[in-house]
Amino acid sequence: MSGRSPHDEVAQSAVLAALQNFLDQAGERPQLVVAFSGGLDSCVLLHALRSLCLADPSTAPILTAAHFDHGMRDGSEGDADWVIEMCDKWAVPLTVERAEKALESEADAREARYAFLDRTRIAAGHNASVLTAHHADDQAETVLFRMLRGTGPDGLRGIAGQHKGVARPLLGLWREDLEAYAGIKKLDWREDPTNQYLGYARNALRHKILPELELSVTPAAKKSLVRLARISGVEAEAWSEALPMVFEVLDGRRNGLQNESQGPSLDVDGDALRVLGRPLRARVIRYLASEVGVTLSEAGVERVNHFLSSSRSGRSIDLGGGAIARLQFERVVFLGSRPSLEPARSQVDETVVIKSGSQGDGEVRLAGKRYRVVWAEEPSSDLEKEDEAFFEVAGLLFPLEVRARAPGDRLRNSAGSRKVKKIMLEHRIPIRQREVMPVLVDARGEVLWVPGVARSTDAAPKAGAPSLRVRILP
C-alpha cells in the first residue's frame, strides 16, 4: 500500500498540468525566475517545474530561483541558508539578496521583495518572467481582505494571474493540492512562525474568519470568493476596452503638451459627460484622471462630480499630484502636471528601416526626441541589456521598422497577443512618454520589441542560429 489517496494522485496531476499549460504558452525556452521563500508553496512550485524540465531537457525553460531575506524576524538568515542548500541539491541557480536597511512593515517588505524580483528578472534576460506560488486560498483571502477594507469593483479582481513580468501559474489550485503534492514527493520546507500570529490581519482571515465562514455560512465560502475575483476580472477587462470607446463618443481629444509648466491634456464634451448615468460617469472620470497620471479615490470622484454640476467656465479643481480638471466653455479638460513629450502623429519626423541581411545605423526622431538605432548580425547573448535585443534572423519578416507606437499596436508574449498600450500602462509609463517611446515592428506591423519594457516571443534567438542584434540608444 502506497498510502496515497485518490485525491493525492489527482492533486499531483493538477499541479503538473497547471505548470505544463503555463509552459506551453510561454514560448520557446523562456527564462523563469522562481520566487523561492522556502515555504511549502514555493517548494512545490520549484520542485514541480524542475521535474518538468528534467523530463524534457531539450525544450525546457531556463530555470533559476531568487530569495529575498527581509531580515524582519529571527531565523530569516536560517531560511536563506536552507534555500541555498536546497537549490544546490536540486542544481537550480539561485540569486539571494538581503535587505540593506531595516524594514518596518509587511508592506515595506513586500515592496522591497518585488523590487528585488524585478531586478533579477531583468538581469535574467529579455524573455524572463518571475513566477510566484500564489494559489486559490491566497486569492480568496485577498478578495475578502479587500472587501473588508471597502475596495471598489476593480479591487475585487484580487491577485492577477499575470502582471508586469510576474506570473502565478498555480492560482487555480488550492493549498490542499500543493500539500498533497508535497506529501507524495516527501518534500521538506520551512515554516514561518509569524504565519500563525493572529495579530496580522491576513493570518486572522486565514486561520479564524474564513474557517468560521465555511462552518457557519457556507462550505463554499472560499470558492465563492475566487469566483467573484474571476467575474470581477472579466468585468475590469471589458471596461479597459470600453472606456477608450466611450472617450471617443464624448468627442474626446488628446492635446499633448500644453506649455512648459503643464503636462498632457485630455478634454471631452461637458454636456455629454454630465448626462451619463452616475456609475458610468464615475468610471469615465477615473479613466480621464488616470490618463493624466492620477488615481482618484471615491471621494475624489465625488468632488469632480460636484465640480461639474456647480462650477462655470474658467474654474478648475485640484485632482492631486499637480493635475487639475478645468471647465473651458463647453469642454471639460483634464490636465497633467509635468511637460508632456507626446507628439501629434504628424510630428514624427523620421523612422528607421532595417532590411534583410543588412547592418548599419540610423536615427529616428519622434517629435524632436532622437534615438540612435544600430543593427548587425551577431551571435546572441544571454546577457542582454535594456537597450538591445537579439532576434533569430530566420524568424523575422523583413523589412523591420523603428517608429513610434501607433494606435492598435500589439505584441505577442507568454500571455498571448496584447495591446502595447496596455503593457505600457502596466509598467506605469506616463502618457507623456508613451507616444515618444520607439518600438520595433516587422513587415506585418507586429511589435517585436519595446525597449526596456517588453519583447515579443516571436523570433526569439536560438543557440547556433544566425541572429540580428538591434540597439536603440537615446
Q: Are 341 and 369 in contact (CB under 8 A)?
A: yes
pLDDT tens across 223-272, in order? 999 999 999 999 999 998 999 999 999 999 987 544 444 567 899 999 99
Can you give the pLDDT at residue 256? 57
CA 222 to chain centre: 25
Closest CA to 340 of 262, 270, 399: 262
Q: Show the cell assigned to 325.
A: 480638471
417 or 217, higher pLDDT: 217
Can you give the pLDDT at residue 470? 92
Can you give the pLDDT at residue 262? 56
pLDDT tens across 205-215, in order? 999 999 999 99
Closest CA to 79 of 91, 92, 70: 70
347 or 413, higher pLDDT: 413
pLDDT band at 148 (very low <50, low <70, confident <90, very high): very high
Can you give the pLDDT at residue 313? 86
pLDDT band at 432 (very low <50, low <70, confident <90, very high): low
pLDDT band at 443 (very low <50, low <70, confident <90, very high): confident
Least confidently predicted of 66-75, 159-168, 425-434 = 425-434
Rounded to whole angstroms, how far apart are CA atoms 206 and 196?
9
Q: Tell me the sheet residues that pair with 390.
A: 469
Place of cell 514555493: 42
Can you give the pLDDT at residue 76? 78
Q: Are 440 and 470 in contact (CB under 8 A)?
A: yes
Rounded to whole angstroms, how far apart are CA atoms 336 and 2?
65
**192: buried, middle or exposed (CB in 10 Å: 19+, 13-18, 0-12)?**
middle
pLDDT band at 40 (very low <50, low <70, confident <90, very high): very high
Place of cell 516571443: 457
pLDDT band at 127 (very low <50, low <70, confident <90, very high): confident
pLDDT tens across 273-330, in order? 999 999 999 999 999 999 888 888 888 899 999 999 888 888 888 888 778 999 988 9
pLDDT tens across 375-417, in order? 888 887 766 678 899 999 988 988 898 988 877 789 998 878 8
128-131 vs 166-167, strand pairing mode:
parallel
The mean per-residue pLDDT over the stretch 149-165 comes to: 89
pLDDT tens across 355-379, in order? 876 788 888 877 667 888 998 888 8
Q: Are 42 and 133 in contact (CB under 8 A)?
A: yes
Q: Show the cell assigned to 226.
A: 475566487
Can you give the pLDDT at residue 45? 98
Rounded to whole angstroms, how far apart are CA atoms 316 and 302?
15
Q: Tell me the sheet residues that pair with 323.
A: 320
pLDDT for 169 beyond 60: yes
96 or 28, higher pLDDT: 96
Task: Supply the pTM of this predicted model.
Answer: 0.67
Residues 6+ apart with CB under 8 A from 107: none
**Beta strand spans in 106-262 (E):** 128-131, 162-163, 166-167, 253-256
Percent of the chain topping pLDDT 70: 92
> Around Cβ 58, how many Cβ atoms within 10 Å?
5
pLDDT for 339 beyond 60: no
Can you give the pLDDT at residue 345? 40
Rounded to whole angstroms, how far apart are CA atoms 461 and 456?
11
> Can you list the domains of the chain with their CATH numbers?
6-226 (3.40.50.620), 250-335 (3.30.465.60), 345-473 (no CATH)
Rounded to whole angstroms, how far apart are CA atoms 103 and 451?
32
Q: Show the cell assigned to 312.
A: 462655470
pLDDT band at 108 (very low <50, low <70, confident <90, very high): confident
Query: What integer best gives the mean pLDDT of the chain?
Result: 87
Can you give the pLDDT at residue 435? 67
Query: Reduced to 3 DSSP states, what percent helix, strand and coil does the chain have, rounded to the nearest 5?
Result: 40, 25, 35
- Tell me the CB-side half-sphere exposure of residue 165, using CA atoms within 13 A: 28
Q: Is the dihedral of CA 80, 82, 85, 90 positive or negative?
A: negative
pLDDT tens across 83-106, in order? 999 999 999 999 999 987 777 677
The mean per-residue pLDDT over the stretch 195-199 comes to: 81
Q: Cis peptide leading into 451, omega within 30 of 0?
A: no
